[in-house]
Structure 1
Amino acid sequence: MDELYPPIPVRADGMLDVGDGHRIYCQEAGNPRGKPVVVLHGGPGSGTAPMTRRHFDPEAYRIILFDQRGAGRSTPNAGESLSANTLWHLVSDMELLRERLNIERWLLFGGSWGSTLALAYAETHPSRVSEMVLRGIFTVRQRELDWLYRGGAANLFPAEWDAFLEPLDERQQEDPLAGYAELLHSPDRAVRERAAIAWSVWEGATVALLPQQSFVNQYANPQFALTFARLAVHYFQQGAWLEEGQLIRDAGRLAGIPGVLVQGRYDAVCPPITAYQLHRAWPGSTLKLTESAGHAVTDPGILAALREATDGFR
């Protein structure tokens, strides 16, 4: 963890009313006169974490974080409601937050689902983006969803895949995404929790290059799992409300925005082909393939590559 800056406190926080009955939790740290950066968490549904403030030099950066709709301390939680919660709602929330904070342009920083949101925002509002630092690239194409949720990654994690399928009956196993949607909307809370934990533990088991029980334990927490699973299935069943291949197709809109793509060579959650194809479509982007890493931010080489990028953009 030497590649991270020392822990820093939150300087200000609060709730922002974004409409549709939603209020998102926001926080700020670092130098209030520094270079603005907004951190986009993964999932969807994982929420902000104190460690993510440590990717940035606190003397140089004004660090903004927020819990996306339904996640973390934002209300209503996804376990209660999924209404008015789409990718484009999140893009609009970011614009409202930027305006409220009187920021002209900001650096976008996100990994996994956070990279999806960053790309959607930047392709919609390119004039508001100074640079981008993205990790574990995910664009919600059908091939990416099929890899993780329809048997591709099962070739690497067969026992874990069997555990993922275990809550589903034979019919539901034909389309695990649809099957999990049924279970996660069951009126029986025990059924919902069992399905949520199985869904979440599948990602916890595949995220790191080498197995780490700490990830599995984190994802198995029932409160975390229910939010994480309900939001993920809600978004992925709809392809995140994107046209197929849209984020890579429209990457030309990012021309003039410097970007660094940090990608683990052995990422079993978001395989490197997506980062490579985005890099080829995005003029001015740099692809940093770390040779001893999977998807986890703490895998070897990932933190160092992220710090090099954020230090470079100071």
Structure 2
Amino acid sequence: MSRVLFPNIAAYQQEWLDVGDGHQLYLEQSGNPDGIAVVYLHGGPGGGSSKNYRRYFDPEKYRIILFDQRGCGRSKPSPSLSHNTTSHLISDIETIRKHLHISQWLVTGGSWGTTLALLYGIKYPERVLAFILRGIFLGTTAEYDWLYTQSGAAGFFPEYYREFIEQRPDIKSASILQGYYDLLTGNNEIAAIAASKAWCLWELRLSTIEHHHIEPHHITDAHQALCMAKVSSHYFVNKCFVAEDFILTAIEKIKTIPAIILHGRYDMVCQMRHADKLVQAWPNAQLQILPKAGHGGFETQTIDGFCKAADTMANFIAEQGSKK
């Protein structure tokens, strides 16, 4: 029987945590204050968290921690590229752990959140009980090329890709990615808003196989779109501030930590071959291929797989704790 999301729950604590450099992170907790600590890392970069991420986890078993990464969502200022790099975000995660007096936690995330989770684990392996990762993104040139050049996802969605590049005739750069970044960070606010909506529409159209005919009017939140596009393009033109193949090279540091990795067979944002490559290098990771899912976090099989993985990890962590 397929699992559905847990019922809606309210956060029992919300705050804005000062992490320096003029940034304050939106941070919330829900579920059981005495439960297993779990942090969910949202995608993007710049996507912001959703209250529905709380619903992957049994609120009786888990102390659920969500936050908006610096420069996006409800964090302040937003959108902001100032002092905003991958190493800043990893430090922010560790600052949150210390602030909440958590010794170890389950680290979970989706898409760009998997990149951050892996990098955090590589830097702080002793703080991670286990991982649940959905839609692997390793931050490599092949992945940027897949998303933003003619030779990748454009081959599956040629009409959408034409819209993606034609809606921005004012792009001067030979590189679509660089051209969008220039528009999004330029002085023309109207052009930046239009570019951000086109950017988000392209990714949204690639993200799910359960919803069709996604049109420009579906991008309704201009602030969210600007955060997503501006922060994402900032990270991608800078190769996510990570050396090529760094995660696979450093996987040794987390090879003993258990992980459940979920990946949609038809994920057109993050290709499954990267998840497969990761698992081949990580003996303690188990890849669960979702046969009728794409990239979206709330597709039917993804919800089923994630909720089951969260239950599996709760039992595993409780078992490990009883052995100590």
Structure-2-length-normalised TM-score: 0.93
Deviations along 1:250-306, whole A, 9 cap, x unmatched?
112112211010000010000100100111111200000011111112224111111
- Report the CA distance between 1:215 and its aligned residue: 8.6
Q: Which runs of 5+ in 1 are unaligned?
A: none
Residue matched to 2:92: 93
For the Cα contact (< 8 Å) 2:197–2:216, is it kept in 1?
Answer: no
Matches within 5 A, 1:266-285: 266-285=266-285
The number of aligned residues is 312
Could you tell me how far apart the structure 1 residues matched to 2:214 and 2:74 are? 23
Distance 2:35 2:14 in 1: 17
Query: Residues 252 and 283 of structure 1 are in contact (CA less than 8 Å); yes or no, is this contact kept in structure 2?
Result: no
| 1:66 alignment partner in structure 2 | 67
* Residues 220 and 77 of structure 1, relative CA distance in 2, 3 Å threshold: same
Are residues 218 and 110 of structure 1, via their aligned partners in 2, closer, same or farther at CA, if it must alter by over 3 Å? farther
Q: Once the 2 structures are TM-superposed, how far is the Cα of residue 54 of structure 1 from its aligned partner?
A: 0.5
Tell me which residue corresponds to 2:76. 75
List structure 1 runs of 4+ shifted beyond 6 angstroms. none
- CA distance 1:62–1:68, shift in 2 (3 Å): same
Equivalent position amino acid for 1:18 in 2: V
After TM superposition, the structure 1 = structure 2 runs for residues 33-52 of structure 1, keeping only pairs within 5 Å, are 33-52=34-53
* Deviation for aligned residue 1:217: 5.0
2:16 matches 1:3: no
1:202 corresponds to 2:178:
no
Q: Which residue type is aligned with residue 28 of structure 1?
A: Q
Other structure's SS at 2:63 match: strand
CA distance 1:260–1:215, change in 2 (3 Å) = farther
Q: Residues 171 and 50 from structure 1, CA distance in 2 versus in 1: closer, same or farther, beyond 3 angstroms?
A: closer
Choose 56-65 or 294-303, whichever is displaced more. Answer: 294-303
**Cα distance between partner residues in 2 of 1:167 and 1:218:** 16
Q: Deviations over 1:221-277 (max 9, x none)?
A: 322111110000000011111000111221121122110100000100001001001
Q: Find the aligned partners of 1:218 and 1:16 in 2 and give their Cα distance.
A: 32
Equivalent-residue separation in structure 2 for 1:16 and 1:209 (angstroms)? 37
1:204/1:216 contact within 8 Å kept: no
Does 2:228 align with 1:228? yes
Distance 1:169 1:202 in 2: 16
Which consecutive unaligned segments of at least 5 residues does structure 2 have? 315-324
- 8 A contact 2:49–2:73 mirrored in 1: yes
Provide TM-score, normalisation by structure 1. Answer: 0.95
206 and 61 in structure 1: CA distance in 2 versus 1, 3 angstrom threshold: same
What is the deviation of 1:15?
0.7
Cα distance in 2 between the residues matched to 1:279 and 1:32: 33
Equivalent-residue separation in structure 1 for 2:212 and 2:64 (angstroms): 29
2:248–2:278 Cα contact (<8 Å) kept: yes
Pick closer, same or farther for the CA change 1:203–1:219 going to 2, 3 Å. farther
> 1:214–1:11: structure 2 CA closer, same or farther, 3 Å change rule?
farther
**Matching residue of 2:248:** 248
The alpha carbon displacement at 1:218 in A equals 5.1
How far apart, in 2, do the equivalents of 1:210 and 1:301 lie?
Answer: 10
Aligned mates of 1:215, 1:86 — CA distance in 2: 32
Contact 2:3/2:308 (CA < 8 Å) preserved in 1? no
136-145 or 208-217: bigger deviation: 208-217
Q: Measure the CA separation in 2 of the matches of 1:215 and 1:33.
A: 44
Distance in 1 (alpha carbons) for counterparts of 2:287 and 2:27: 30
The superposition leaves residues 180-223 of structure 1 with CA deviations (integer Å, 9 ceiling, x where unpaired) of 11111221111111111111110011100144456965545322
Q: Supply the distance in 1 between the matched residues of 2:81 and 2:157 (Cα, whole angstroms).
A: 31
Match of 1:30 in 2: 31
Identity across matched positions, percent? 40
SS in structure 2 opposite 1:313? helix
- CA distance in 1 between counterparts of 2:287 and 2:252 reads 16
Which residue number in structure 1 is paired with residue 109 of structure 2?
Answer: 110
> 1:94-145 deviations in whole A, cap 9, x for unaligned?
1111001110001011000110110110011000000100001001100000
Give the counterpart letter for 2:133 in structure 1.
L
SS at structure 1 position matched to 2:260? strand
Q: Aligned to 1:250, what secondary structure does the other structure show?
A: helix
Aligned equivalents of 1:88 and 1:278: distance in 2? 21
| Distance in structure 2 (CA, Å) of the matches to 1:158 and 1:118 | 32
- Cα gap change, 1:43/1:163 in structure 2, threshold over 3 Å: closer, same or farther? same
SS at match of 2:37: strand
